Structure 1
Amino acid sequence: MATGLLALLDDVAALVKVSAASLDDVPTQVAKTTGKVSGIVIDDTAVTPKYVVGLDPKRELSIIYQIAKRSLINKAIFLGPAALVLGYFLPVVIPYLLMIGGAFLCFEGYEKVHSMFSKTHEPTDEPTEEMDVITPEELEKQRVTGAIRTDFILSAEIMAIAYATVADSTLVNQIVVLFAVAIFITVAVYGFVALIVKADDIGVHMAQDKFHPTTQKIGRGIVKSMPKFLTILGYVGTAAMLWVGAEIIAHGLPFMHHPMETLDHLFPDIPVLGWLVKVLVLALGGLLLGAVIAQIVTLGKKLFKRPAEKVAH
């Protein structure tokens, strides 16, 4: 009996050591996962500020908090556990879900690029539909709902990629890493978004006469540069959507592995240049794929349009 108890204690001790060693790798795995989802994080950061544009400045931080809270709940309570369940019972489904998400990112990226160069925003003589009048509270609710919907899709991609990174680890390690990724990315993204949104106010405060001339100059510089910064951030976010979406799909297709490795080692002496070429190729590929998907969506809308809508046109 004593021998059996000692053997059991030895097994428990070994299990604890293995778990502890596994948990020691959590920071490394979180950092590795964060690097893989950097494109999605950039896009999430670039997209969110537009949801508070035109609203009461006093409500900006409150709105960002609402979106961030729901984002964390979605990642930690719904998407993370869903990834674990699928990974345990239907692991074969995860790559396809990732590819579907990647295709959606390419489609969204193409739509943004198309809107940048589209001429449909030019004024016309055609009558427009009467716009509904809504209260500021209703507008805020609509913005928050839209932001949460967009964030949910991006968060699903983040958590799926995070799970794929730790799929071969122990269950405890998977749970800890997914939870840590959910918290870290949510805090990082929405903390930076809050800083971007309030940068104008910070700049105006710094430009007051009571501060040193250098501080005032910096404050005025912040106010003047923010519109350009937001525009550049929007471009970067769009490029990130196309790049990440295409890369997710490429990783899901076995015949694409070798070309991707070739691009990585295209300039062995200058790794950064090889990475830039790879990103450019993926972004262009994502743009092309997004255009194809957009045409399919447009065709589907025409095919499934109601007869009454056809007559109206």
Structure 2
Amino acid sequence: MAGSSLLTLLDDISTLLDDISVMGKVAAKKTAGVLGDDLSLNAQQVSGVKANREIPVVWGVAKGSFLNKLILVPLALIISTWAPWAITPLLMLGGAYLSYEGMEKVVHSLRKDKSEHSPEAREKRLQNLSQQNAAEFEKKKIKGAVRTDFILSAEIVAITLGIVSEAPLLNQVLILSGIAILVTIGVYGIVAGIVKIDDLGLWLKEKSSSLAQGVGGALLAMAPWMMKILTVVGTLAMFLVGGGIIVHGIHALAQLIEGYTSGFSGLSASLLTNLASLLVGMVVGSIVLLAVNLIARVRR
């Protein structure tokens, strides 16, 4: 009797693991696009700190990301049970904020480029930089990256929850927790590797092998360009993710875009859909930025 009970238990566990494996793979595929955006965003968010502080900053953001998911996973399960109607509006608010952050970065970049033509402004920036408290700068970087990660994590959790919504509660908890842990370790492990590419290049450059020196020189030459590209890609990702969330939240707009792109091939349709999300993100980001600036002026 005990033997048959044990076999039944093992069979149930095996079935549970198979279900989790299948749904986990589907969830990983569905969230792959958001993971790419998460990677590019966080890589550019932690750039700009001193070389010897890059890994501590990445670790600080990773801890914040774990905390985000520790909050989001149970919160998502509670909301999906008691107030499923609230998930879409909350995600749309997050998408609007992400679009706002992207537009703020664009405006700041344009203003910075213009101010570089002024020697006085350049000198003032250098003085401010020399007097800036490094610890406060790192805290600001970590705080901004964790805030952005919260919105991206919320979308990853929401996508995963949509896939496992019909599964038993135990499966939902295990899959959501597993995806959250794997995503955080994977993304920030790669981010840590990206920000240390220049150090790897310098280490290889000092080797006696000509091959190692050549690879090291290539990495050193590539590192600054990679960070510049990630900065641009990360900002575009803010608009794409933010705009995509808003498009999916407005059913009529999603249908309009889907109807327009239905006559095109797979790749063309995907590009047009992403372009539409990008434009929506930029428009919403501009509106929110304008509203924030107007409120700030009124308060002053």
Which TM-score band applies after superposition, normalised by the shorter structure?
Answer: 0.7 to 0.9
Deviations 1:251-293 (A, max 9, x none): 111212322323553422xx22221122122212211221112
Amino acid at match of 1:104: Y
Bigger-Rg structure (1/2): 1
Match of 1:189 in 2: 187
Number of positions where the alignment pairs a residue of Structure 1 with one of Structure 2: 292
Residue 221 of structure 1, CA deviation: 1.0
Distance 1:47 1:245, change over 3 A: same
2:273 to 266, 272, 278: 278
Distance 1:282 1:135, change over 3 A: closer
Q: Does 1:153 align with 2:151?
A: yes
SS of the residue corresponding to residue 37 of structure 1 reads helix
The alignment's C-alpha RMSD in Å is 3.3
Structure 2 unpaired stretches of 5+: 1-5
Distance 1:84 1:14, change over 3 A: same
Distance 1:264 1:299, change over 3 A: same
Amino acid at match of 2:157: M
Amino acid at match of 2:59: Y
Q: Does 1:34 align with 2:31?
A: yes
Structure 1 unpaired stretches of 5+: 1-8
Match of 2:3 in 1: none
Q: For 1:100-249, list aligned pairs within 5 A.
A: 100-118=93-111, 121-122=115-116, 123=118, 133=131, 135-211=133-209, 213-249=210-246
Which structure: greater helix fraction? 2
Deviations 1:206-229 (A, max 9, x none): 112412x22211210110111111
Match of 1:299 in 2: 294
Query: What fraction of aligned residue pairs are identical, expressed as a percent?
Result: 33
Residue 18 of structure 1, CA deviation: 6.6
- Which deviates more from structure 2 when the two are superposed, residues 25-34 or residues 230-239? 25-34
What is the alpha-carbon distance in structure 2 between the residues aligned to residue 297 and residue 232 of structure 1?
28
What is the alpha-carbon distance in structure 2 between the residues aligned to residue 125 and residue 134 of structure 1?
18
Match of 1:66 in 2: 60
Distance 1:174 1:284, change over 3 A: same
